[in-house]
Amino acid sequence: MTANVEFEAVDTNSEIGLLSVPRHVAIIMDGNGRWALRRGLPRTEGHRRGVKTLREAVEHAQKRGVSYLTLFSFSSENWARPQQEVSFLLALLRRFVCDDIKDLIRNNVKVRVIGSRENLDKSMLTLLDDAERETAHCTGLVLVIAFNYGARDEFVRAARQLAERVEAGELRAAEIGEDDVSTCLDTRDIPDPDLIVRTGGEQRLSNFLLWQAAYAEFYFAPTPWPEFGPDAFDDALLAFSNRERRYGGVSSDAAGT
């Protein structure tokens, strides 16, 4: 983002009463299938429409001054969906990267992909690596795409890395601390989410960022993802801005009592 846009973000934020902006917003984009079925459309149409919302969300996060936006695009469990829906979701991701990469670069958006790279098709691996490499110089919003991602799988891969370091004599098991675990996760260079949003009315984490969510604020919206436009995004940001985060401590009002 240019300095101008950052200034504009601060300005419009105060207009809507936003007192603080989460540095990192992570979103579970749920409700695509139900949105489509309610309209007599195939579930895949909900995902197609979801990409439009995704573009709006990237733009809106930049406007509000969010630094990291993580989107749960495909979970390690989503392979169990009907083959046709899986292929459609993979094709949408490919098309998004191919069609939008120039715009992302123009808007100074850096792409990061988290999730397991094991057993991925070679062309998909190349696509994801290229998206990260081509946007590596960007210094604005970091768009984190969680693809083939599951928090337990991420944790298992981290445990293996730590065990290998112990076996190699680089680390003593008794000395393993939170930082050692964090640096083995896919999100090693990404701050923990401040706000986790789930659209579509369900209220669960579904194996998303379990370690990183330790002190996140949660916001569950009934709105299905295809309808989660800028105003709905603002509602989530406003709810966050009114929360008091205590990180296990006490509120400043209670501190003196």
Closer CB to ligand FPP, residue 100 or residue 184? Answer: 100
242 is annotated as an active-site residue: no
Closer CB to ligand FPP, residue 30 or residue 194? Answer: 30
The verdict on 51 binding ligand FPP (CB under 6 A) reads yes
Task: Show the tokens assigned to 5.
Answer: 């846009």
The verdict on 58 binding ligand FPP (CB under 6 A) reads no
From the list 11, 32, 78, 107, the catalytic residue is 78
Site string for ligand FPP, 66-85 (x = CB under 6 A): -----x-x----x-------
Q: Using CB under 6 A, which of the segments 90-98, 112-120, 171-179, 203-211 binds ligand FPP?
A: 90-98
Q: Which residues pair with 69 in a beta bridge?
A: 25, 143
Closer CB to ligand FPP, residue 79 or residue 215? Answer: 79
From the list 11, 13, 30, 242, the catalytic residue is 30
- The 10 Å Cβ neighbour count of residue 41 is 14
Task: Show the tokens assigned to 118.
Answer: 């094991």
Among 67, 142, 200, 228, indicate the residue that binds ligand FPP (CB under 6 A).
200
Q: How far apart, in whole angstroms, are the C-alpha atoms of residue 94 and residue 10? A: 34
Closer CB to ligand FPP, residue 29 or residue 66? Answer: 29
Per-residue DSSP letters for 138-187? --S-EEEEEEEE-HHHHHHHHHHHHHHHHHTTSS-GGG--HHHHHTTSTT
Q: How far apart, in whole angstroms, are the C-alpha atoms of residue 153 and residue 53? A: 28
Q: How many residues bind ligand FPP (CB under 6 A)?
A: 20
Can you state the angle between helices 43-64 and 3-15, rounded to 10 degrees?
Answer: 100
Identify whether the C-beta of residue 89 lies closer than 8 Å to the C-beta of residue 148: no
> What part of residues 124-183 is at the interface with ligand FPP (CB under 6 A)?
145
78 is annotated as an active-site residue: yes
Identify whether the C-beta of residue 228 lies closer than 8 Å to the C-beta of residue 53: yes
Among 24, 44, 47, 234, indicate the residue that binds ligand FPP (CB under 6 A).
47
> What part of residues 222-241 is at the interface with ligand FPP (CB under 6 A)?
225
- 4 vs 1, 14, 52, 93, 237, CA distance in Å? 8, 16, 25, 31, 22
Q: How far apart, in whole angstroms, are the C-alpha atoms of residue 150 and residue 78? A: 10
Q: Using CB under 6 A, which of the segments 89-97, 112-120, 215-223, 244-252 binds ligand FPP?
A: 89-97
What residues act catalytically?
Answer: 30, 78
Binding site for ligand FPP (CB under 6 A): 29-34, 47, 50-51, 54, 71, 73, 78, 89, 92-93, 96, 145, 200, 225
